Amino acid sequence: MIWGARKFFAAVTGAALLGSSLSACVGPQPGSTTSPLPTCRAAFPSAPPEGILAGVNLDWEHETLEQYAANLGQRPAVTVTFTDFPMSGTDRGNVEAAFEQIRANGGTMLLTLEPKQGLASVTPEVAVELSTMLARFNNAGVPVIVRFAHEMNGSWYAWGQQPTAYVAAYQRVATAVHAKTAGSAMMWAPNYGGGYPFSGGKYQAVAGTPEFAALDTNKDGEVTGVDDPYAPYYPGDDAVDWVGMSLYHWGNTYPWGANVIPEQGKFLQQLTGNYNGAGGDDLAVPDFYTEYGTARNKPVAIPETAALTVASGEGADALAIKEAWWRQLFDPAIPTDYPALKMINWFEWDKNEVEVKATVDWTATKNPQVREAYTAALPDWFTFADAPAACSPAGDAPS
């Protein structure tokens, strides 16, 4: 999320897991005379030929995937989880817990890796350790998309605005993932470039450094909104399988916090670099959809999106704000006019945002009235997960 909002993946308690961690990949019982189950092998998570994958950024501390799917009335095709990277033992346990829930639900894991210790901590050994974990997930039937060090063009993360180091670390992870897994892919996902270079953040590039020079794409000695907010960070077509962009409605003016209905057309205008509206003139921002999606033949994802609402009681009604935003995500012209857009994941969190100095309700299913409107609006071209078929993990199959 833009401007330093901190996301964390809380540990899922045993009690929360109990109702939803029953594996779909189970072997036959001892003494069983039934036919052996087929072997699990996750297919490579490429874009669906038709429709758009409908996913969720789930607040695991407050809701299981099973509970969310019951509220939605559908199994999400993609479930996003976050972890520090390299992973501690606790981090690995949390990712394993998310994997078990996704294995029971069906669909794809979108694993967001956050190198909070800095990009130098992402060594070849760490990358190989990750790929070993992912291969095991794939062999249990769960495809994975790795979103490494997202929003790297921002100034709020420890990996931000360091294009040379970022590209090297991304390529290191991509090489390991592509070499060792058959059911895992890599996603490159900057933040929307409006407001770039996001001055004032803790990790803003410093003038006089090589990284600053790399970000000065027009070579005028400054890094400003006329410099390209995406190109210096792109790791190359061979390393990238999916391209994505965090794209939220935060309101119209910084500092955020006003309950404002998004103007019509804002979502697609920002995605394509054509936005000049109440939030400012962003026409200098490149057309992300075309330059990184269609021109490179990459599927495009919106791995995080939602619309800001705060409980101040001032401004527009929360349902009106959220509904105005999701109507843009569900625009019936998208499947035909933007066929490379293949994934949209709602940010289902109710959390404190540093910039707003308040709790923001980003959710679409927590409030019953909002949930009813949201689920009724879901388009028929959104693709959800099927219940997973019973299978035996590939590692358990006889050789």
Q: Are 144 and 137 in contact (CB under 8 A)?
A: yes
The total number of residues shown for the chain amounts to: 399
Q: Are 324 and 266 in contact (CB under 8 A)?
A: no
pLDDT of the residue at 30:
45
- d(Cα 8, Cα 273) in Å, to the nearest integer? 30
Which ranges of 293-367 does DSSP label H, i.e. alpha helix? 318-329, 334-337
CA dihedral of 118, 179, 302, 286, whole degrees rounded to 10: 80
Query: Of the candidates 241, 302, 299, 310, which has an alpha carbon nearest to the alpha carbon of residue 270?
Result: 302
Q: Which residues does the chain have with pLDDT short of 50?
A: 2-32, 397-399
- d(Cα 133, Cα 161) in Å, to the nearest integer? 29
pLDDT of the residue at 16:
36
Query: Of the candidates 338, 268, 331, which has an alpha carbon nearest to the alpha carbon of residue 299?
Result: 338
CA angle 105, 19, 92 (to 5 degrees): 70
Kindly report the pTM of this predicted structure: 0.91
Question: Tens digits of per-residue pLDDT, 156-188?
Answer: 999 999 999 999 999 999 999 999 999 999 999
pLDDT of the residue at 83:
98
CA atoms within 13 A of residue 30's CA, in its CB half-sphere: 0
Q: Are 186 and 230 in contact (CB under 8 A)?
A: no
Q: Would you tell me the crossing angle of helices 89-105 and 65-72 to the nearest 10 degrees?
A: 40
Query: Of the candidates 75, 284, 57, 281, which has an alpha carbon nearest to the alpha carbon of residue 189?
Result: 57
Max CA distance (Å), the chain: 75
- d(Cα 32, Cα 228) in Å, to the nearest integer? 62
Buried-exposed string 171-207: b where 16+ CB fall within 10 A, e elsewhere:
bbbbbbbbebbebbbbbbbbbbbbbbbbeebebbbee
**CA distances to 15, 30, 49, 72, 235 from 56, in Å:** 22, 38, 21, 10, 26
Question: Residue 21: helix, strand or coil by DSSP?
Answer: coil
The full DSSP string for 69-109 is: HHHHTS--SEEEEEEESS--HHHHHHHHHHHHHHHHH-SEE
Question: Tens digits of per-residue pLDDT, 111-169?
Answer: 999 999 999 999 999 999 999 999 999 999 999 999 999 999 999 999 999 999 999 99
CA atoms within 13 A of residue 376's CA, in its CB half-sphere: 7
**% of the chain surpassing 90 pLDDT:** 85
pLDDT of the residue at 2:
41
pLDDT of the residue at 230:
98
pLDDT of the residue at 32:
44
